[in-house]
Structure 1
């Protein structure tokens, strides 16, 4: 508590001189403080803003679109996952991609739906939701704030005003695309998806085959966006197959 009070005092004491002379530095200080004190509820709120922004910038399949109807059919049993309400939408974009954010938003791209079976889509969504359940997306948002603080400091030192605003910090570029997860986090998200599939009576092998399809995609016109920092897809598929054998779920 003393540390928080001291930080508040220092920030308010610097407001007059710093805000007048170096607005970028002031923004950096505020962003740095925000990243340190950010709560789960605040992360969810920022995530919601990010998704709203992305929904307005991408073609979203309407309620009667065949892609929406297919997705609704696939996820009809999973409107709430681990106590988190989930909202699903399809982006009519040819990229092989999907993402989930800390507020429970899941967005699946048309390109991914075109190459995956229903169960494979569930397995991939389970992986992305795993990042939310494991608080990886919360930590990614904090890192986005910290990166912005650094950039604002650099801008202020060069005599320019920092360009990033709080609304821009909630943007898709800084939060979803700009974030990356460690191999440990990716493995834990894989494990969450495996357990999700197993618990709900789906074949866990769909997780393995989805990775194998993604491996083929990466061997073509480049690695799909959401796999750019992931462990090797073939190795992940084999890991799932080995685990399924140990669990007696495959031969």
Structure 2
């Protein structure tokens, strides 16, 4: 779930030209929230929010069906209830960033896997892996930090932004063909799969998701400092062999901890208010 920075391929001027040619426009997908998310995003007119949500729903359904067939879907009922309860509290807060997301068809499942991972597809399709829960012995607040982080990616439409940037970087390829027809549909599906499960997110996306996730957790009544302890557990789980895949493009340990601590301190009044 990581994205290779565009600057590796194009100069700033070339990026601007490519985004223009791809029909990209500056948008603001979310409100700034208390954490102050204000970065303008560039989205291609060839990839609408509705299109990507429809494709995500289709892929999620296929993944869930596959997990069910393999006996890997929601195996532990108590564990599933726990994750879903945490997610519901977080989802109840998404309106602070974008009111329309309160009407998304949110779905939350736990997949049996040793991988330390979680994700949220466009439109609110969430999966948490058992490896994240079992290996890290994550507290409720730490799970809230992970799930809030992934929800933030969906709220900010980072997947759509990455697909738009891919299209801008591949001017002239079939993905820039007409947006109707089976080939275009296949292109969109492949692009979504790529950005969700293959390419890394940019550090900018990860930092935004970290900060928004901490705010969502604090508003939902979870200790915002749990994001710091969660990262420490994830880093320790790597055993010195590099960060878990979930964290492979995050900033350095010291930088990230410092940022999370600062954001957690800012969010403490929201957390304290939620506990009254």
Q: TM-score, normalised by structure 2?
A: 0.64
SS in structure 1 opposite 2:110? strand
Give 1:178 shift.
Answer: 2.2
| Alignment match, 1:170 | 189
- What is the CA–CA distance in structure 2 between the aligned matches of 1:61 and 1:122, rounded to whole Å? 20
SS in structure 2 opposite 1:90? strand
**Moved beyond 4 Å, runs of 4+:** 32-36, 143-153, 245-250
| Alignment match, 2:128 | 108
On the 8 A contact 1:120/1:210 being kept in 2, the answer is: yes
- What is the CA–CA distance in structure 2 between the aligned matches of 1:246 and 1:62, rounded to whole Å? 35
Would you say 1:190 and 2:210 are equivalent positions? yes
* Cα distance change on mapping 1:212 and 1:33 into 2, 3 Å: same
SS in structure 1 opposite 2:128? strand
Per residue, is there more helix in 1 or in 2?
1
Q: How much is the aligned-residue C-alpha RMSD, in angstroms?
A: 3.2
| Alignment match, 1:38 | 47
| Alignment match, 1:71 | 83
Unaligned runs of 5+ in 2: 1-21, 25-43, 176-182, 272-276
Unaligned runs of 5+ in 1: 1-31, 154-163
Would you say 1:127 and 2:149 are equivalent positions? yes
| Alignment match, 1:180 | 200
On the 8 A contact 1:63/1:69 being kept in 2, the answer is: no
| Alignment match, 1:226 | 246
On the 8 A contact 2:74/2:111 being kept in 1, the answer is: no
Equivalences for 1:25-64 in 2 at 5 Å?
Answer: 36-58=45-67, 59=70, 60-62=72-74
Give 1:191 shift.
Answer: 1.1
Q: How many residues are treated as equivalent by the alignment?
A: 209
| Alignment match, 1:214 | 234
- What is the CA–CA distance in structure 1 between the aligned matches of 2:65 and 2:172, rounded to whole Å? 28
On the 8 A contact 1:99/1:226 being kept in 2, the answer is: no
